[in-house]
């Protein structure tokens, strides 16, 4: 059997008399198409054509001149489980950002460009925000209006009802009107008017400015694989009981590998130096952001105008004051004791508030597409100097 020979080479560097010799280990490959003169001599001296060791691979006769493998003769996969490609490929494994843009000239056909060690952080989501609130006011007047025998600054004062009739819609009414000079226990009755708060809005809410917030994602593969092929010819590797293929031998950075689809069974016995599970560049990626939501409106309400008239027909207005659903409203009457013959509530409208936002947290993840995985099982290159 022809065996590899590992030779220790001692090199003295002309660095000065005291410099120690440099020592390296070089592996001479009997299958190399053009072994160096040094390796030829070492292989011959070692008797590498001696009887094979038990269980060792017999590469067969050396190809004859004129029908020579210009790359590397490697065996078909044997042993192990699962299905593996019969024809090996030359594969370079490197940092993904350092992979060559194309295969080398002596193996110009790109078979695979695959990746592993995915780094895919969660999505970066824009903050959720809400539009101003929207709602409706039905135009109802305050539930109660009183004429008080005291100014707004007096907390305790005699009061008379001044609300409208049952079911009042805020239109002009002389209900409970009071003539000028009316007396309440020795005090002028018409010194102030107190109206309760307007009824609040109904059907109000805030809409998210964006139901799904905008987001960005990034990803990076740390490891890449470039698998290259030349035209393979098994008839250039000589006659052998064990079939061998001539594969491209682009250099020491490439390994000879068989491949199988998916994350497959253990590697073949004669291709178990290194194993890689590699994936397409596009991962399975469902990263995104949770939907935005808005809370209850704050600071919104209804507002309108309370109008007071001297006459009962709402033609002589002497006061117009803003009222709202936020709080009651007290209006001092000038001059005190004047006639208050009628009132009306007009221009009831909704004013907007704000809503707090929630949601928009990152969700989902990115992962390699295992359904499209390719597993490589590799022999070590004969380009070894260690």
Q: For residue 60, is it within any domain? A: no
CA distances to 5, 8, 25, 204, 385 from 14, in Å: 28, 19, 20, 90, 21
If asked whether residues 160 and 11 sit together in one domain, one would say no
If asked whether residues 220 and 279 sit together in one domain, one would say yes
**Residue 299, phi-psi category: left (phi > 0), alpha (psi -120 to 50), beta (remainder):** left
What would the two tokens of residue 154 be? 């007096």
Pick the range with the lowest mean pLDDT from 50-59, 71-80, 272-281, 361-370.
50-59
Nearest-5° Cα angle at 216, 212 to 217 = 120
Q: For residue 201, is it within any domain? A: yes
Contact 26, 13 (CB under 8 A): no
If asked whether residues 85 and 223 sit together in one domain, one would say yes
pLDDT surpassing 80 at residue 29: no
Q: With CA atoms as reference, report the closest residue to 216 among 301, 87, 120.
A: 120
C-alpha to C-alpha distance for 318 and 305, rounded to whole angstroms: 13
Share of the chain above pLDDT 70, in %: 78
CB 69: neighbour CB atoms within 10 A?
23
C-alpha to C-alpha distance for 83 and 46, rounded to whole angstroms: 38
What confidence tens digit (pLDDT) does each residue in 341-360 have? 999 999 999 999 999 999 99
What's the pLDDT band for 240 if we cut at 50, 70, 90?
low
Q: For residue 62, is it within any domain? A: no
Q: For residue 95, is it within any domain? A: yes
For 44-59, give the DSSP string.
HHHTTTSPPPTT----
pLDDT (mean) for 171-199: 94
What's the pLDDT band for 36 if we cut at 50, 70, 90?
low
What confidence tens digit (pLDDT) does each residue in 113-157 have? 999 999 999 999 999 999 999 999 999 999 999 999 999 999 889
Range of the domain at 196: 134-207+293-358
pLDDT surpassing 60 at residue 112: yes
If asked whether residues 148 and 48 sit together in one domain, one would say no
Average pLDDT, the chain: 82
At 288 the three-state DSSP class reads strand
If asked whether residues 3 and 112 sit together in one domain, one would say no
- DSSP 8-state code for residue 270: T
CB-count burial class (<10 Å; 0-12, 13-18, 19+) for 354 = middle
Contact 107, 91 (CB under 8 A): no
pLDDT (mean) for 22-51: 44
If asked whether residues 219 and 182 sit together in one domain, one would say no
pLDDT (mean) for 257-273: 87
What confidence tens digit (pLDDT) does each residue in 41-56 have? 444 443 333 333 333 3
CB 313: neighbour CB atoms within 10 A?
10
CA distances to 47, 243, 271 from 52, in Å: 11, 18, 20
Q: With CA atoms as reference, report the closest residue to 378 among 69, 68, 106, 72.
A: 72
The model's pTM: 0.62
More confident site: 28 or 89:
89
CB 300: neighbour CB atoms within 10 A?
24
What confidence tens digit (pLDDT) does each residue in 288-318 have? 999 999 999 999 999 999 999 999 999 999 9
Q: For residue 61, is it within any domain? A: no
Number of domains in the chain: 3
Partners of 221 in beta bridges: 118
């Amino acid at each position: 059997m022809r065996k590899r020979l590992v030779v220790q080479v001692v090199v003295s560097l002309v660095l000065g008399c005291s410099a120690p010799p440099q020592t390296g280990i070089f592996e001479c490959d009997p299958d190399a198409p053009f072994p160096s003169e040094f390796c030829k001599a070492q292989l011959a001296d070692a008797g590498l054509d001696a009887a094979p060791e038990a269980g060792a691979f017999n590469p067969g006769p050396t190809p004859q001149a004129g029908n020579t493998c210009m790359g590397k003769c490697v065996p078909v996969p044997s042993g192990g489980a699962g299905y593996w490609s019969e024809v090996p490929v030359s594969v370079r494994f490197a940092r993904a950002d350092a992979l060559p843009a194309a295969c080398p000239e002596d193996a110009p056909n790109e078979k695979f460009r695959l990746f592993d060690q995915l780094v895919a952080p969660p999505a970066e989501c824009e903050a959720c925000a809400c539009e101003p609130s929207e709602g409706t006011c039905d135009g109802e007047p305050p539930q109660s209006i009183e004429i008080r025998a005291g100014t707004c600054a007096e907390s305790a004062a005699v009061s008379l009802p001044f609300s409208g009739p049952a079911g009042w819609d805020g239109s002009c009414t002389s209900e409970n009107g009071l003539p000028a000079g009316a007396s309440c226990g020795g005090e002028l009755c018409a010194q102030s008017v107190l109206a309760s708060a307007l009824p609040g809005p109904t059907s109000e809410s805030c809409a998210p400015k964006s139901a799904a917030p905008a987001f960005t994602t990034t990803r990076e593969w740390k490891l890449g694989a470039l698998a290259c092929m030349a035209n393979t010819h098994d008839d250039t590797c000589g006659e052998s009981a064990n079939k061998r293929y001539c594969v491209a031998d682009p250099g020491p950075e490439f390994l000879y590998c068989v491949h199988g689809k998916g994350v497959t069974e253990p590697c073949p016995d004669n291709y178990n130096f290194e194993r890689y599970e590699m994936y397409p560049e596009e991962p399975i990626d469902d990263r995104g952001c949770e939907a935005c939501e808005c809370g209850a409106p704050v600071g919104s309400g209804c507002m309108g105008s309370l109008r007071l008239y001297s006459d009962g027909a709402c033609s002589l207005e002497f006061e117009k004051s803003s009222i709202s659903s936020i709080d009651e409203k007290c209006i001092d009457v000038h001059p005190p004791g004047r006639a208050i013959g009628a009132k009306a509530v007009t221009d009831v409208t909704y004013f907007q508030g704000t809503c707090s936002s929630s949601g928009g947290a990152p969700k989902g993840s990115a992962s390699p597409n295992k359904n499209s995985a390719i597993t490589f099982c590799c022999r070590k290159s004969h380009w070894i100097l260690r």
